[in-house]
Amino acid sequence: MNNLRVRARVVDVVNLTDQIYRLRLACDEFTTAQPGQFVNVSVPGFFLRRPLAIADIESNHDGSVILTVIVAKVGAGTRALADVVPGSEVEVLGPLGNGFDLDSIGQTPVLVGGGSGIPPLYYAAKVITARGGRPHVLLGFRSAGDTYSIEEFRQLGCEVSVATEDGSMGSAGYVTAVLPPQTEQVLACGPQGMLKSVVAQASGRIQVSLEAHMGCGFGACLGCTVHTVRGLERVCLEGPVFESTDVIFAKEEA
């Protein structure tokens, strides 16, 4: 799929939790993206861009496109990006990778997200509900203090179930604790251990969005390869979304 390098104006940066923030960028040009695709965003003072899942795309009143990404503060780059000033500019490269196949799923898919894997599921849920569907969204967090986007999913009309590892909100345990035993279509994004558990418990077709360390974001550096039934494939290029039956999950992530 074609991608585009554009300059983007920072609209706002909003803290959702102590470690998660929402960044909205106004792009004069941006091609249509599939839910599950990502963008590479430049960080002032850093050489490498940061790969960030697309959480939403909206039309702005001035004809530009508002691109939303939700970012976890996991390193110096993502922490620095939280300090960008509204009105300043960053560079965006995207959309990149392959997203979820939404054209062949039913009206009531199950969307499973854990931690920083939740953002691309919001965009997927928005597209599904706009087509008349009603997803059941399962969100997993460590504690109540780490929760975000719950009400946004409900405002779309989704059924939402929440699990926290410490039991401080929703069901106690991992997100798979609220996974229905019978499913026809599942979209999942999160740590590989969570994805492996979803695949072990769910039935039907399961599309998984993998997380990996991406150096370049477009397949050149080979730093994000994973084992599949076809051999090594790049999360940034052949993924990040794969059919679960194609992925060979690492044994140590069980």
- Where is the binding site for [2Fe-2S] cluster, in residues? 216, 221, 224, 236
Distance separating alpha carbons of residues 107 and 163, to the nearest angstrom: 23
Tokens of 17: 């939790």
Distance separating alpha carbons of residues 203 and 186, to the nearest angstrom: 8
Tokens of 210: 């993998």
Distance separating alpha carbons of residues 97 and 209, to the nearest angstrom: 11
DSSP label of 84: P
CB 35 within 8 A of CB 118: no
Strand intervals (E) in 103-184: 110-114, 136-141, 159-164, 171-172
Q: Which residues are annotated as a binding site?
A: 77-78, 216, 221, 224, 236
Q: Which residues are annotated as a binding site for FAD?
A: 77-78
Distance separating alpha carbons of residues 184 and 190, to the nearest angstrom: 20
Q: Under 8 Å CB-to-CB from 221, ≥6 apart: which residues? A: 215
Distance separating alpha carbons of residues 235 and 216, to the nearest angstrom: 11
54 by Cβ neighbours in 10 Å (0-12 / 13-18 / 19+) ranks as buried
